Amino acid sequence: MTTAATAYAELEDRFRRYLVLGQAQGVLHWDMSTMMPRGGAEARAEQLAVLKTTRHALLAAPETGDLVAAAGEAELDGWRRANLAEMERRWRHATALDEDLVEALSRAETACEMAWREARPAGDFAAVVADLKVLVALVRETAAAKADALGLAPYDALLDAYEPGGRQAEIDPLFDDLEAFLPQFLGRVVEHQARRPAPVPPPGPFPIAGQRALARHLMAALGFDFDHGRLDQSRHPFCGGVPDDVRITIRYDEDDFTPGLMAVLHETGHALYERSLPPAWRHQPVGQARSMSIHESQSLLIEMQVCRSRPFLAFAAPLIGGALGGAGEAWDGDNLYRLLTRVEPGLIRVDADEVTYPAHVIVRYGIEKAIIGGTMEAAEIPAAWNEGMDRLLGITPPGDGDGCLQDIHWYDGAWGYFPTYTLGAIAAAQIFAAARQADATITAAIAKGDFKPLLAWLGQAIHAQGSLLSVPELLTQATGRALDADLFKTHLKDRYLA
């Protein structure tokens, strides 16, 4: 007879296997993005499909549900109780889908991503739209199945997999508020900048070898452990791999070093979070990152809050100039600060400044909701994208390469999580403010290149918590309040109108 305690123990073993298989899947994705020859696409599609269906079968098996029900009677401590809740949430998501749909979706994701890799540099949306239509149909089927099983709207059912508990009803008013605030604020910032000396662009070109060396130096200074991670190149920057083997990728531009530098610092924020998740729960759901918004808060805290600040650039300016062979006014900390906080509407999300970045996300969020809701088809995405960029930022992409093809996410099947980028930006401002309030030495330490006080606070307040708490509970415990956009607005005003 299976006791409640035995059922819980069996669940821990089952989820350990499920998560380890997921780690293998993650490394295969990294390889596909960085090193795999195009001729390996068919074999990789097969590998990923088998891994995904194997994981799904393990999680969706009837006995998993029986174990979840039985374990509910066990006497568990706080961590194990939270772990069981996460197990049940993941099980409910899995049982909403049959194995054939999981396999079809996996194959469509790989096919569409490989088509995107050719279409993006060519700016040729027509080259990917057929694969995207197939993928969108399967994503809608997934959303509908999960909606029925979870009692949620289709978009919320997708969002819940990335942002547990996240709902459109909470996001829409928040984004409506930002959409009303940002255009007028952007105008004030542009006027304010016009009254001050423009930054001097450091003269290029900037050899990739120098940029790579600089990236590695600053990653190490921030605390990235190269014994447990590596830096590579890909078409789209990302952080992947597993907590004990974190893989960061970046793309370089020999005419402008700043996008690559900021991207690698952003991804380092993701990596530091992954590496600091609770080791004792490494292979259990409660030991995983809490949500995409919290993950993004950690990357944006490092990139935007820390690495675009005056204290950081006072430390980093000599390193940047030394690595790239620069000297003089263009390379001093004050000029680099003005350069890296320059506000100007641009086409590329990952290169956008803090003020205009939310507009990029709001455009994508609107398209995602329309696609999942069936009021827009895949072929209509370029026109909707261009209209949104013109409406919110007053600019229109000259081609789809700088428009709707710029992000990999939709083409590799990640639908329903774009709002978490701006939720993360809001949380980043809130968390960094709380960190500095808790430890007054943090700012001065950053100016000396010492990130230990900040990382110690983050490690205890955010990283070590894993998925023990809900997002509102985590933010309230760490900062004294749930997500608050007013703190983000205050940060923008303090930085860009001072």
Give the Cβ contact number of residue 278 at 10 Å.
Answer: 18
CA-CA distance, 436 to 457, in Å (whole number)?
Answer: 9
Helix, strand, or coil (residue 191):
helix
The answer to whether 267 is a known catalytic residue is: yes
Exactly one of 163, 267, 274, 354 is catalytic; name it: 267
Tokens of 201: 């662009």
| CA torsion through residues 216, 219, 225, 228, sign | negative
**What DSSP assignment string belongs to 59-71?**
HHSHHHHHHHHHH
Amino acid at 369: K
CA dihedral 278, 282, 284, 288 (to 10 degrees): 60
494: number of Cβ within 10 Å? 11
The percent helix, strand, coil of the chain (3-state, each to 5) is 70, 5, 25
CA dist., res. 63 & res. 60, Å (int): 8
Answer whether 307's CB lies under 8 Å from 320's CB.
Answer: no
Cα dist from 405 to 136, 351, 485, whole Å: 15, 15, 29
Q: Which residues are catalytic?
A: 267
